[in-house]
Amino acid sequence: MKIRILNLILIGSIVSSVMLSSCSKDEDNSPSEQTGVFTDSRDGHVYKWVKIDGLTWMVENLAYKPSSGNGYIAYDNDENNVSTYGYLYQQETAKVVVPDGWRLPTKDEFRNLVNSLGGDTPAYNELLEAGTAHWENPNNATNKSGFTALPGGRYNPNDSSFWGLGKLAVFVSSSLYTNSTTSVMVLNLNRNFLEASVEGNPLTFYYSVRCVKD
């Protein structure tokens, strides 16, 4: 009888250890804790990344400068802005300048990102970089997701105007607006509205880029 009780105690201890180990593993793999870096072999630029709801996102705006061609620009034509905000790209250019193993997100992936963080308003607060180092004051965002959205603004080539540095983060997707050849889907984070919206914007405009891993 004593041997049987001892065996039951040992089995119970093993089961408890397995359960605790499983819980610890799940906690270690929670989206907000999965982070790392990768190096773009083309120019040696090191980017941070974070895994959110199972998908790996760049934590910095793409800053790759093609050797030739159009379709990209530094905000205000000032290369000093690139180190923080990256370049602004038209969608077609963005598709071909992403690093190897990465791609533009789809509109559905942007929507899933927003939904996974609680919807438009909660997601806005969890996606933005916290503080006022780059966002205009006031900024009450928490950046709980680790996405660290930066306000790189946008460029309109139709009138050569830049707008939004410090108050607008807009990231281009690989998807066109439904039944449109002139609008592209973007993730729009505008401090004037305090919401994360996935919407159609002009295809000709230049936007920031956040890649996802294939």
Q: Is the per-residue pLDDT at 207 higher than 90?
A: yes
The more confident residue out of 30 and 135 is 135
State the DSSP string of 18-60.
Answer: HHHHHHHHHHHT-GGG-EEEEE-TTT--EEEEEEETTEEEESS
In this prediction, residues 119-129 reach a mean pLDDT of: 98
Over the stretch 157-168, which tens digit does the pLDDT of each residue have? 999 999 999 999
For residue 69, the model assigns a pLDDT of 86
Q: Tokens 């936007």 appear where?
A: 207
Q: Is the per-residue pLDDT at 120 higher than 50?
A: yes
For residue 182, the model assigns a pLDDT of 96
DSSP tag of 131: S
For residue 90, the model assigns a pLDDT of 98
For residue 116, the model assigns a pLDDT of 98
Contacts with 7 (C-beta within 8 Å, 6 or more apart), sequence order:
none
Half-sphere exposure of 53 (CA within 13 A, CB side): 15
What distance in Å separates the CA atoms of residue 67 and residue 48, rounded to the nearest whole number? 23
Q: CA 58, 60, 62: angle at the middle one, nearest 5?
A: 85
Q: What burial class does residue 213 get, using C-beta atoms within 10 Å of its C-beta: 0-12 exposed, 13-18 middle, 19+ buried?
A: middle
What distance in Å separates the CA atoms of residue 162 and residue 148, rounded to the nearest whole number? 22
Q: Which residues pair with 88 in a beta bridge?
A: 73
The more confident residue out of 9 and 44 is 44
Q: Global pTM?
A: 0.84
At residue 152, φ and ψ (nearest 5 deg) are -85, -5
For residue 130, the model assigns a pLDDT of 98
The more confident residue out of 106 and 28 is 106
Over the stretch 178-192, which tens digit does the pLDDT of each residue have? 999 999 999 999 999
Q: Is the per-residue pLDDT at 32 higher than 80?
A: no
Question: pLDDT tier at 68 (50, 70, 90 boundaries)?
Answer: confident
Task: Confirm if 121 and 101 have CB atoms less than 8 A apart.
Answer: no
Q: Is the per-residue pLDDT at 134 higher than 90?
A: yes
Q: What is the end-to-end Cα distance of the chain in Å, rounded?
A: 58
Q: What is the dihedral of CA 19, 23, 25, 30, to 10 degrees?
A: 160
